[in-house]
A and B are shown apart, each in its own frame.
Chain A
Amino acid sequence: MRTSETTAVPAATTTGEPVLSARNLVKHFPVRGGGLLRRKVGDIHAVCDVSFDIYENETLGLVGESGCGKSTTARLLMDLHPATSGDVYFDGTSISSLSRKQMQRTRRNMQIVFQDPYASLDPRMPVNEIVAEPLRIHGVYDADRVRQLLHTVGLRPEHGNRFPHEFSGGQRQRIGIARALALEPRLLVLDEPVSALDVSIQAGVLNLLEDLQAELGLSYLFVSHDLSVVRHVADRIAVMYLGKIVEFAPAERLFEAPAHPYTQALISAIPIPDPQKERSRQRIVITGDVPSPGNPPSGCRFRTRCPKFANELSESDRTLCVEQEPELIDRGQGHPAACHFAESAALL
């Protein structure tokens, strides 16, 4: 890696160089006033200092609630938004240093699938054309390849002549995946790929993604608000809160021994479809809502809702939370968590 700092990201199951690395990504969106000049009146701190690596054939899960910056992070990786600062490395090369032409070539290797299959497909294009578009742009169009792609995602060749509105949500998402696979990328960024689908349909798409990974050796960045889904697909999971990664662990580890109070609250808030288990669970209910990213709290960003801060810590401990931002490091839990008083807990 070309950066000097060593991040405390836990070792992946796969070895070797990462396919994609994010280093200290920051994204601020300007907030403009209502006046004629629309002068800038502040900043939304959407993503603050986010770093991670994605290795070959690996799924990295990025979870968090709405507004935590997970989708913005996904878009920064794809260079769909320019980052305020920080770098994205693909195969060791910083993508911000690339010329337009070089970037176009790199884009072949990383593709994105969006959440809403109703909005991400052009309603006036037949499916064949939707899937062929990336091939045409890169000058490698081949009708057989289109048919093969449709087959790969579980659609029949005759589906190719139909329009997106003729398909159900699950099938549309399959079309989006076929389009993303067209240029044989090495990495797919999946931004809430199953959130808009009914459960019985969702399972089919998740299985498809798993099969594709096994078959093509793809790397995934799987962005989702649904921890159950992420547990199912991810090898490692990063939990985000208000623009920052607050905990980073191998999937099993995160559920067995979550160390950050936010992760613990998140896990305990998700209902389990098992009546006896669900009714006898230990609950950590956190109060209030996520503070505005325009004016995040000082020190630890979670302290305003933190049950530990409110109920367990002494006055001097609290001062630490208020004054000093906790680093994302391992404090003896075996994986990094951004909490001064991280402590593993068994919740499931």
Chain B
Amino acid sequence: MLEVDDLHVEFPTDDGLVRAVRGVSFGLRRGEVLGIVGESGSGKSVTSMAVMGLLPDTARVSGAIRYDGKNLVGASDKEMSTVRGKRISMVFQDPMTSLNPVYPIGYQIAEAILAHENIRKDAAMKRAVELLEVVHIPNPEERAKAYPHELSGGMRQRIVIAIAMANRPDIIIADEPTTALDVTVQAQILEALANAQAETGAAMMLITHDLGVIAGQADRVQVMYAGKVVEAGTAEEVFYRPRMPYTLGLLGSLPRLDVRSERLTPISGSPPSAVNMPPGCPFSPRCPMAAPECDVEEPPLEQGMTATHFAACYFSADVEGHTPDEIFRSTEAADAASGSSAREGSR
């Protein structure tokens, strides 16, 4: 339904060219939930902004984002506005900044409907109240008159979800929708998102750094690192049989709620700066399996054992079936011996 093909996003800055997204390709099928995980600076949010056409003018975007027979890269603002908010909508991380503080929430939801549909104002308001009910806001009629500051963080995020589903979009992009919220509220919001998706039949791109959220929600998972997709597959494939050392490292560094872990296996060093990225695999400075060829050319995203599982690593066959401990323990020992983690610049 949505196809992203070789997307590049670059930002010229005083320090040099920041290559935030470097050749990302993926497809989104009707009704599925695609989870995108990655740490800060991996390019996951920039990818979603590119799809929405929300990047600043200074950004240089190349590649193609095909939706409904149109290429959204380079589309005019006017063309984009027929898609944005109607066919593809977005839920941002911070509900306080994505709502307008000076208008009542009912009005803001109605505004989203009126922007794309030619109906009477009172009909739009009625729809807004219905939407508030769908996202489980108590006393929707009363609440429609409330201003954002009168609501809690969880409620505000529900309003944002109501706005996102107002025009029955084909795609909902949720960018860290629960990061600003407490866990008990997070559970409620994830439920509201799943309801919104079921109600509208939309596909969802769920962007988060929380592997637990991905495990519970996503049908397919895409792991991003330094502006690239380094592993993609079904949730089971990525979590149970990772083929990229980075994915394995992430899983190993996570303390688990369900099992008492003896010791965590961290990944040494930190992600590379997006300016002046060296050739070769971006993960190789932190990778215990790195070989000389890794620094020569960047490994392409290649198919693994199944048709749905891809990884960008020359040694993915060796990664599969190993525990994080087996592969990353050696680097931790080396780190301790040298008395330092890998040298890093500022982020």
Besides A202-B266, A271-B216, 16 new A-B residue pairs in contact (Cβ under 8 A), listed by A number: A66-B182, A166-B346, A198-B270, A199-B250, A200-B266, A229-B255, A231-B256, A255-B257, A265-B184, A269-B184, A272-B215, A272-B216, A275-B236, A275-B239, A285-B187, A285-B188
Does B213 count as interface, using CB distance less than 8 angstroms? yes
For chain B, residues 229 to 260, give those with C-beta under 8 angstroms from any C-beta of chain A.
235-236, 239-240, 249-258, 260
Does B98 count as interface, using CB distance less than 8 angstroms? no
Q: A204-B266, A229-B255 are in contact. Are A198 and B40 (CB under 8 A)?
A: yes
For chain A, residues 161 to 175, give those with C-beta under 8 angstroms from any C-beta of chain B.
165-171
Of B332, B336, B340, the residue contacting A155 (CB under 8 A) is B340
Pick from B66-74, B76-84, B204-212, B303-311 the stretch touching chain A: B204-212
- List of A residues within 8 angstroms of B49 by Cβ: none
- List of A residues within 8 angstroms of B255 by Cβ: 203, 206, 228-229, 231-233
> In the bound complex, do residue B236 and residue A198 qualify as a contact, i.e. CB atoms below 8 Å apart?
no
A57 → B minimal CB distance (Å): 18
For chain B, residues 265 to 296, give those with C-beta under 8 angstroms from any C-beta of chain A.
265-268, 270
Kindly list the 4 A-B residue pairs having the minimum CB-CB distance in the complex, ordered from nearest.
A271-B212, A203-B253, A203-B266, A232-B255
> In the bound complex, do residue A271 and residue B210 qualify as a contact, i.e. CB atoms below 8 Å apart?
yes
Does A103 count as interface, using CB distance less than 8 angstroms? no
B-facing mask of A250-288, CB < 8 A → 1, else 0?
Answer: 011001000000000111111111111111000101110
Bound-complex Cα distance A268 to B344 (A): 38
Q: A198-B40, A203-B266, A252-B260 are in contact. Are A154 and B336 (CB under 8 A)?
A: yes
Query: What is the size, in residues, of chain A's interface with B at 8 Å between Cβ atoms?
Result: 57
- List of A residues within 8 angstroms of B240 by Cβ: 275
Does A32 count as interface, using CB distance less than 8 angstroms? no
Cross-chain pairs A/B with CB under 8 angstroms, 6 sampled: A151-B339, A200-B39, A200-B249, A200-B253, A203-B254, A273-B256
Does A348 count as interface, using CB distance less than 8 angstroms? yes
**A156, A210, A278, A348 — which one has the most chain B CB atoms within 10 A of its CB?**
A278
List residues of A whose CB falls within 8 A of some B CB.
65-66, 151, 154-156, 159, 165-171, 198-204, 206-207, 210, 225, 227-229, 231-233, 251-252, 255, 265-279, 283, 285-287, 289-290, 305, 348
- List of B residues within 8 angstroms of A199 by Cβ: 39, 209, 211, 250, 253-254
Bound-complex Cα distance A169 to B214 (A): 24
CB-CB nearest in chain A for B251: A273
CB-CB nearest in chain B for A169: B347
Q: A167-B346, A200-B266, A207-B332 are in contact. Are A273 and B182 (CB under 8 A)?
A: no
CB-CB nearest in chain A for B345: A166
Of A204, A265, A275, A348, the residue contacting B258 (CB under 8 A) is A348
> In the bound complex, do residue A274 and residue B336 qualify as a contact, i.e. CB atoms below 8 Å apart?
no
- List of B residues within 8 angstroms of A225 by Cβ: 182-183
- List of A residues within 8 angstroms of B153 by Cβ: 289
For chain B, residues 303 to 328, give those with C-beta under 8 angstroms from any C-beta of chain A.
none
**B186, B212, B335 — which one has the most chain A CB atoms within 10 A of its CB?**
B212
> In the bound complex, do residue B341 and residue A154 qualify as a contact, i.e. CB atoms below 8 Å apart?
yes
> In the bound complex, do residue B339 and residue A200 qualify as a contact, i.e. CB atoms below 8 Å apart?
no
> In the bound complex, do residue B209 and residue A198 qualify as a contact, i.e. CB atoms below 8 Å apart?
yes
For chain B, residues 180 to 224, give those with C-beta under 8 angstroms from any C-beta of chain A.
182-188, 191, 209-216
B64 → A minimal CB distance (Å): 31
> In the bound complex, do residue A278 and residue B260 qualify as a contact, i.e. CB atoms below 8 Å apart?
no
